[in-house]
Amino acid sequence: MILNFTDMLYALSYALDAVESEFNGIMEGHGKRVAWISACMGRTAGMSRRELIDLTGLAILHDNAVVEFAYHDPAESAPDRKKYVMFEDWDSFRGHCIRGEKRVRLMPFITNPENVILYHHENADGSGPFGKTAENIPPAAQIIHLADTVDVYLHFGRISEKDREQVERFVLGNRGIMFSPRIVDLFMETFDTAMVKSVEEMGVTRSLRSVVPEGVKDFSPKEIQGITDFFAGIVDDKSSFTRDHSVGVARKAEEMARFYGWSEEKAERFRFAGAFHDIGKLVVNNDILEKPGRLTGDEFLEMQNHASQTYKVLSGIRGCEDITEWAANHHEKLDGNGYPRGLTEQQLSFEDRLMACIDVYQALREKRPYKDGLTHSRTIAVMRDMAARRKLDGGIIRDMDRVFGTQTGREVS
């Protein structure tokens, strides 16, 4: 499947940032700003096109394992305070790095980078979580560490020309301590007025595009699988039942695509849409995603917002317009009463309707904290009722009954 890898990372970093700011209050756009500082330093260092693409990708994904290492402090229950506090000890730092490294290996980077995420919190003098010193830390990890620190502590996204001095003082003051002299020199050579102005004037995404070459490639099914597994893992860490849901929808999307005899390429794209259909849930607050009881009106509206967020995220990937529609329209209903756009039967493509049916089928069959999973026949009965009320496509439900009914065997419901 042909995919613009850099576009995809920029688009998804928005969702990753949302998770990070929910859990540790980091400013929106952190991932991309770390990527921007890193990419500029990589360019100064004379990195090749391939190295630059990978460095940028790794920088965007440097905090891919955040949620599970933030701990919940029950004492902090006041609504204006974050319930999660990050990394109280080296153990959780190490856990964050190990898990992030393991997961990032799923991504089809070009240069097979190793241990960049693992050592992205190491200090040059050996005072970091794994006690590594500069000679044993990959240069990309050192660059990302500096970029990350500069952004977190000094709010790079907000600084103007007059704050440059403060940034420089901080970095120079840590020469040989947090950062190796080589990396500090590289930063000092890179960090100039143009770099600050670019973010101010063009925004961080356009700035990135102006420096980092595009990574457009025909990815193998295995590589695409790695990408979907990577993001499913992040969704899973945020909300425990969503991952199995996305994986289930993706698998069933592919099975239905095969049943309809679609081409390999289209089946793969449809599967991709299935895997990402609920990616917008990364932007929805966990208090709502995990609420055991019924949602209030406002909470329900925020929950519904996930479909628009899926659209927002995926529409940033050029060449994925079809996937974006299939994924983001999964809560639309034939009678026009679905969300987010209230599209009608005439406006919904066959693929849109199929994805909507698969989503309902998968959700009904799943066991959730608040409900048991239904049997296949019971699920089909509920869906037929929805078709009678012009919510779902009855023809597709008949087909799904054929495809999935035979797999589950005869059931007594």
- Site of interaction with Fe ion (CB under 5 A): 63, 148, 278, 359
Phi, psi angles (nearest 5°) of residue 263: -65, 160
Q: Closer CB to Fe ion, residue 225 or residue 239? A: 239
CB of 97 to Fe ion, least distance (A): 7
Q: Considering the complex, what minimum distance in angstroms separates the CB of residue 213 from Fe ion?
A: 24
CB of 278 to Fe ion, least distance (A): 4
Distance, CA of 143 to CA of 136 (rounded, Å): 14
Q: Min. distance of Cβ 46 from Fe ion in angstroms?
A: 25
Which is closer to Fe ion, CB of 359 or CB of 393? 359
Kindly tell me which of 11 and 34 has the beta carbon lying closer to Fe ion. Answer: 34
Question: Smaller CB distance to Fe ion: residue 102 or 217?
Answer: 102
Closer CB to Fe ion, 11 or 59, in the complex: 59
Residue nearer to Fe ion on the CB measure, 278 or 401? 278
**Which residue pairs, CB below 8 angstroms and at least 24 apart, start in 189-198?**
189/44, 190/40, 190/41, 190/43, 190/44, 191/40, 191/164, 191/167, 193/161, 193/164, 195/37, 195/40, 196/159, 196/160, 196/161, 196/164, 197/161
Q: Is the peptide bond before 340 cis (omega within 30 degrees of 0)?
A: yes
Nearest distance from C-beta of residue 318 to Fe ion, angstroms: 24
CB-wise, 304 or 377, nearer to Fe ion?
A: 304
Q: Minimum distance between the CB of residue 376 and Fe ion, rounded to whole angstroms?
A: 18
Judged by beta carbon, residue 4 or residue 359, the one nearer Fe ion is: 359
Least distance from Fe ion to the Cβ atom of residue 216, Å: 27
| Cβ nearer to Fe ion, comparing 352 with 359 | 359
201 vs 10: CA distance, rounded Å: 18
In sequence order, what are the beta bridge partners of 407?
A: none
Cβ 78 to Fe ion shortest distance, Å:
26
Question: Minimum Å distance from CB 304 to Fe ion?
Answer: 9
